[in-house]
Amino acid sequence: MLRAREEEKKRISNFLHDELGSLIMLLNSSLALARREALESGPEAAAARIEEAKKAARELAGALRRICFDIRPPAMEVSGLAGAVSELAARTERCTEVKVRCVLRLDGEKRLDGLAKIMAYRIVQEALNNAVKHSGARSVRIALNCAGGRLKLSVADDGRGFDADDPGFLNRHPALGLRIMREEAESLYASLSVESAPGFGTVVKGVFPPGPGRGRGAE
């Protein structure tokens, strides 16, 4: 659990430093140049620099919205896990060429522990990111089913896949986040499995009990 949390802190720190830091530097630079040109050549000369600053400010706001969405999706509070996953799928389709199909049967979602729902969302999110960034997938199917207070999820892609039977694969490819996902799931007594083979895509499956500590998930 501690390792998973530290990895998450590192990911957020890198994002803040790299993406937000560069945007803030651009914004400050544009404003400083606009001020100098306004003093030396008048307001018209500074107009272009001000437009650059406005563009950097919009990008900065967008980056902040993305990281807030990734940490805690707003839809989770309004429409629950189903709404958050649907919004994630729609956003992925808008921003990429990957088709995402959702099969969500979550009538019993209210019986689920809130932490389990957040963790399930994060696993879906990470598996979807992997499919988009690393697998070369053209389509992804997300399935969530809640019955008897137990949540089952699967994220299947048609990407290039990998040798899931290779015990060292996840250690050699930490960017995939699969090891961290498994540790986070196990911290809630849930189970997580990854099925994949070269040329046959990847399927990430998870089973969450009704709440933390209420019994281990079935395979």
Give pLDDT, residue 215: 46
**202-208 sheet: strands from edge to edge:** 99-105, 139-147, 150-157, 202-208, 191-196
pLDDT reported for residue 202: 92
What pLDDT is recorded for position 99? 95
Q: Per-residue confidence at 24, pLDDT binned at 50, 70, 90?
A: confident
Provide the 10 A C-beta neighbour count for residue 57.
16
Which of 92-96, 136-140, 183-187, 204-208 has the least mean pLDDT?
183-187
Displacement of CA 5 from its chain's centroid (Å): 15
Mean pLDDT of the chain: 79
144: which strand partners? 104, 153
Q: Please determine, for residue 167, whether its predicted confidence score (pLDDT) is greater than 80.
A: no
In this structure, what token pair is assigned to residue 37?
A: 């040109």
Q: Are 120 and 208 in contact (CB under 8 A)?
A: yes
How confident is the model at residue 183, as a pLDDT?
Answer: 76
Distance, in Å, from the CA atom of 100 to the CA atom of 140, rounded to the nearest integer, reads 5
- Write out pLDDT tens, residues 30-75: 888 888 888 888 777 788 778 888 888 877 777 776 676 666 666 6
CATH superfamily placement of domain 77-208: Histidine kinase-like ATPase, C-terminal domain (3.30.565.10)
More confident residue, 149 or 212: 149
Domain range summary for the chain, segments of one domain joined by +: 2-71, 77-208
Provide the pairing of β-strand 139-147 with 99-105.
parallel
Give the whole-angstrom CA distance, residue 172 versus residue 179.
11
pLDDT at 140: 96
DSSP string, 168-202: THHHH-GGG-HHHHHHHHHTTT-EEEEEE-TTS-E
Per-residue pLDDT tens for 79-131? 788 888 998 999 899 989 999 999 999 887 777 777 888 888 888 988 998 89
pLDDT of residue 144 exceeding 90, the answer is yes
Checking DSSP bridges between strand 202-208 and strand 99-105, what pairing results, if any? unpaired
pLDDT for position 217: 39
d(CA 202, CA 150): 23
